[in-house]
Structure 1
Amino acid sequence: MQQTILDIEKTAQTLKLLGDKTRLTIIAILQQRECCVCEFTEVFDTSQPSISQHLRKLKDVGLIKEERRGQWIYYSLHTQSELYPLVQEILRHVPEQTEKIKHIELSNPTGCCL
């Protein structure tokens, strides 16, 4: 498999975005499962507009994608993005977010999303 070399601007922008603890955690969670905004608000104990801003920034550069299901939007990693190999490499150095995912599953905030 041939490795894609990213330009320095795109790499710097990606690293800057993932330098934020909340966005890095969002990406780490999305590595394990897709999520709705309400699930992230549960994990981060923050407002929906704040989480939506983080998600918009990640989506704008192509790190994540969204899928509308009725009135709800679910987010997942954009595995076809040219940035995905960089994200994968970064996530190799980040702990799995098992506890946060358990918290999502136990609190079942998507009950509001169904």
Structure 2
Amino acid sequence: MFKSIVELERAANVLKLLGDKTRLTIIAILKQRECCVCEFLEVFDTSQPSISQHLRKLKDAGMVKEERRGQWIYYSINHDSELYGLIEDILAHVPDQTDKIKMIEKANPTLQCGC
């Protein structure tokens, strides 16, 4: 599999962004499934604006993409990004987030927010 070499500054930015536990957890969850902001609220003890801010930073860096469905936005890892290989390598050293995904699925927050 071909992996592109990432510019040093961009690699440093990825490492800086993923040095935050919340953003690293978000990316690890997105490795397993796409999510709406309301679903992340089930996992993190923080506000919706805070989660949105983390997602905006990840999106601005090109690591995450969004897809609008009606009035809701779903987030997923940007597999087309030149950063994807680096993200994949980092996530290989992070535990999977199945427990957090089960929390999301059990709470089923999309019923309440209408996603």
TM-score by length of 1: 0.97
Segments of 5+ residues of structure 2 without an aligned counterpart are none
Separation of aligned partners in 2, 1:107 and 1:2: 39
1:17 aligns with 2:17: yes
1:91 aligns with 2:91: yes
Separation of aligned partners in 2, 1:17 and 1:9: 12
Separation of aligned partners in 1, 2:94 and 2:36: 22
Separation of aligned partners in 1, 2:2 and 2:99: 35
* Residues 75-114 of structure 1 aligned to structure 2 (within 5 Å): 75-111=75-111, 112-114=113-115
RMSD: 0.8
Q: How far did 1:41 drift?
A: 1.1
Which stretches of structure 1, 4 residues or longer, exceed 3 Å deviation after superposition? none
Q: Deviations over 1:56-78 (max 9, x none)?
A: 00000100000001110000000
The total of aligned residue pairs comes to: 114
Percent of aligned positions that are identical: 72
Q: How far did 1:4 drift?
A: 1.2
Separation of aligned partners in 2, 1:27 and 1:10: 17
Separation of aligned partners in 1, 2:3 and 2:38: 36
Task: Give the match for residue 32 of structure 1.
Answer: 32
TM-score by length of 2: 0.96
Q: Which amino acid aligns with 1:68?
A: R
